[in-house]
Amino acid sequence: MLNNEKYQGFLDSPVGIIRLCASDIGLRSLDIVEDKGKSNENEHILFHKRQLEDYFSNCKEPKATQIDLSGNSEFDRSVWTALTKIPFGSTFSYKQLSIAIGNPKAVRAVGTANGRNPVLIIIPCHRVIGSDGSLTGFSAGIEIKRKLLMHENVIPQELF
């Protein structure tokens, strides 16, 4: 956990063990880990665990609420806000995302901010692909990105 993350919880999911970390203000990070650690969950972790359970079992869009992105740059937060507007089952290219934030020439900076997204899945950076349709980088790995996009029916199962 980072210095400003006081709480953590874990969730078994189809993509592995998800670790959720939170402050008193909201969810601070979500990542995929090898092993579960000690849980000390607060209401923000419990809320987002339910969101993720609905996402995986009922294909419901997780709500990007109760998130604490303090300490991050305004530019990064603008990219992450734009990511929350990509609909479930859809993808955007980095170029489309840069246009969405009103800065069409910032494609590389958008890619960098996308890669720094601390709240995977809830802030759906996995929905960003290359302009040629390729599955480009994902901090949790391309195979997890592929599984998430398959779950959302973006990639047909037979291509996996």
Instruction: Choose, from 11, 125, 149, 155, the residue flagged as catalytic.
Output: 125
**Rounded CA separation 128/121 (Å):** 12
| Strands, sheet with 7-13, edge to edge from the N-terminal-most edge strand | 7-13, 16-22, 27-33
> Is 125 marked active-site?
yes
C-alpha closest to that of 5 among 45, 53, 47: 45
C-alpha closest to that of 152 among 88, 63, 92, 93: 88
Enumerate residues 6+ apart whose C-beta is below 8 A from 31.
18, 19, 120, 139, 140
Residues with a catalytic annotation lie at 125
